[in-house]
Structure 1
Amino acid sequence: MSDDDFSSKVRQFARERTSEPAIDWDVRRTWWTSRVDDLFQKIGAWIEPLLSDGTADLQPGMLTLKEDYIGTYPITQGVIRIGGESVQIIPRGTLIVGAAGRVDLKGPVGDAMLLLVQPSTPSTDPQWIHASWYLANAQSRTALAPLDQQVFQNTLLDILGIAT
């Protein structure tokens, strides 16, 4: 390869990379923490009858995460307490391979992974803005179920060891 070819290829590469929009990491962090807060609100609503009658308790708390580019930041975590058992709700981060965020559920007899999955449809917005929560299958992390009330409640039963 000649020096001219080399220089031409490197210049083209540099032009293509600098024309990509820069990521605003503050916006990403704010978006991620708000999505986790929204998830906690949904979980509270999904177990509301148990909270109302005192069968369950949902205790939010704060966790400090540190991620490349994002920096160090506080984020909501929590614990669901039912019958002397606890299920921890632990955010893991937004810079996750194949997802826009991850929250783990850790119960006495099992764990579950919730992922913010980006749509595959084209968009002019950053793909992570349109991500939705999914439950990753314990046997095959590539098999995902959209997270809704029924999926969450079944998962809670599983990780508490309650036969369905």
Structure 2
Amino acid sequence: MKLVILDRDGVINHDSDLYIKSPDEWVPIKGSPEAIARLNQWGYRVVVATNQSGVGRGLFGMDMLNAIHNKMIRVVTHAGGRIDAVFFCPHTDADKCNCRKPKTGMLEDIATRFRCDLSGVPAIGDSLRDLQAAVAVGAEPLLVLTGKGAKAQLDPRLPAGTLIFADLAAAVESLTP
């Protein structure tokens, strides 16, 4: 099985320092839905792994998070693609959970549910947290410069060997079968 793990905000859709709190605020980055469709055409299963501390902060509830994810899935489906699963952490840093990236709980849950080893699995993110979690489980970190990516690229803690791309569409092109 070929698997790819995508962060959501800043990778698939435009990010906001004020959080994406409703479907209206969820706006895809140009080319991202089509890039997901290409992954599916090439035989990849696409999984989203996203920190969503806005839930833990009380900025929006689970119904709203589900509505946002439903919009994302509809947009990707309209482009001819499919998201096989969405994993999320609703906690804040203060909760000290194991699922909030850069911790590995969410990615370990993906490995368990998909019955696979994440070694070498492409994990595409726009933040240092995404990349650190990927490296910790043996996945291949790919950084996109959309969202927080330009800032993450300059961080001295950027994992060695991280591949860097302009956006999700460019990262996906590098995975051409």
TM-score (norm 2): 0.31
Kindly indicate which of the two structures has a greater share of residues assigned to strand: 1
Larger Rg, first or second structure (1 or 2): 1
Q: Which has the higher contact order (CA 8 A, sep 6+)?
A: 2
